[in-house]
Chains A and B, each alone.
Chain A
């Protein structure tokens, strides 16, 4: 974990050295998405929404940060009717904060492929099992659309690794649509 974190500043410094355009540009925006990995009855969160921002290092690389909240999940689990009608309710909350690098490869003047790689501090809070946080590698891959001089739409798949109480890894894959503006 510490090793992964230590790599980030090195990457930043090396990227700055490679920068061809010395004028930095900032960007910020909103993001929303939904999950594809709700494959168990525990109920991974369905939708997510958040804010993001970044600093453009050069024409293909940026440092990006994001904070995302997932919709809360609530599920009831009941005993076999043969024994009792007892039930328990499991309420779950998910959120994460991401920091990492975003790479962009233009395809013509309007579109571009984009990907990002970094670490996400994923937080999971359960009404029955308590809360947990875990910092893990997180990545994404998608397409970017320059809809104006300083505004962009990004559609991408994101992976965030959550640590559930009973599992080492819980990879949530989601489709995300983001709108960002440079300033």
Chain B
């Protein structure tokens, strides 16, 4: 009987051993099977950065030992927030975006390096340079435009590329339903485009907005692609310079009084 007890213990051993020291499996993934996606948007003194990792249905980050940083010109270093979940999460949450303020103005050509320090000691570096900031030519800062009679002409100095984006944001604007922000309108730009004309009396006033005018911000994003560390299975690194211009729009078309 004693031998049978010993033998039973022997047969139970694998189950015991298998269960010991279990960690989230994603920490065991070699980086060669992980896809990295970085998105960085920078004004001259602020940065919004997110860096996410995927492999099959696992959002990679799961170990507290693994960290990621953003370094600028190999000098300043900021820790980035990470996703720690093993379930798919396709909706980018603001909680995963790191907001950074820098002391000295950022300039085009600054080297942005996302450093991924793994618990196994491996360090991966994905790099990109900050693209040029687009300068607005029109409208001028604080210019007042009567939209009932004047076209809104937005002009800038650098030719757009396939990834450039333009948006208008203001409390009085009736935004598009698919935008996350209710007062934002987005425009698709063509490569080489440097001018966008919005016909007079075409923008609509937001429901319930009582004032005749409001401050509107034009946002232009000059986006280029960086390089993910070649040890990753793949991924994307998008970095964009964000330029803003504030002006005033008055007498928007009121959809409540058509």
Contact = CB atoms under 8 A, between A and B. Distances in A.
Interface of A: 36-37, 39-42, 75-84, 86, 88, 90, 107, 111, 113, 126, 128-129, 141-143, 157, 159, 164-167, 171, 173-175
Nearest to A130: B32
B32 A42 contact: no
A81 B35 CA distance: 11
Given A36-B15, A128-B33, A167-B28, A80 B10 contact: no
Nearest to B24: A40
B233 to A, nearest CB: 4
Contacts of B29: 42, 77, 166
14 contacts: A37-B14, A40-B28, A42-B28, A75-B33, A77-B56, A78-B35, A80-B52, A80-B88, A86-B35, A88-B234, A128-B30, A143-B7, A171-B17, A173-B17
A88 B33 contact: yes
A36 B14 contact: yes
Contact of B30 (A76, A126, A173): A126
B46 interface: no
Most buried by A among B31, B32, B55, B235: B32
B32 A88 contact: yes
Contact of B25 (A41, A107, A175): A41
Contacts of A164: 28, 30
Interface string B21-57: 0100100111111110100000000000000101110
Contacts of B120: 166-167
A39 B234 contact: no
B155 to A, nearest CB: 34
Contacts of A39: 18, 22, 25
Interface of B: 3, 6-7, 10, 13-15, 17-18, 22, 25, 28-35, 37, 52, 54-56, 58-59, 88, 90, 118, 120, 122, 233-236
A77 B34 CA distance: 8
Contacts of B234: 79, 84, 86, 88
Contacts of B18: 36-37, 39, 173
A175 to B, nearest CB: 7
Nearest to A175: B14
Nearest to B32: A128
A141 B17 contact: no
Contacts of A88: 32-33, 233-234
Given A39-B18, A42-B28, A165-B30, 16 more contacts: A37-B14, A41-B56, A42-B25, A75-B33, A76-B56, A77-B33, A80-B35, A80-B37, A83-B235, A83-B236, A84-B234, A90-B30, A111-B3, A143-B7, A157-B14, A173-B14
Most buried by B among A40, A79, A80: A80
Most buried by B among A37, A78, A129, A142: A78
Pairs of residues from A and B, 7 with the lowest C-beta to C-beta distance, nearest first: A36-B14, A77-B33, A128-B32, A40-B25, A80-B54, A79-B35, A88-B233
A77 B3 CA distance: 46
B13 A83 contact: no
Given A40-B25, A84-B234, A79 B54 contact: yes
A79 B235 contact: yes
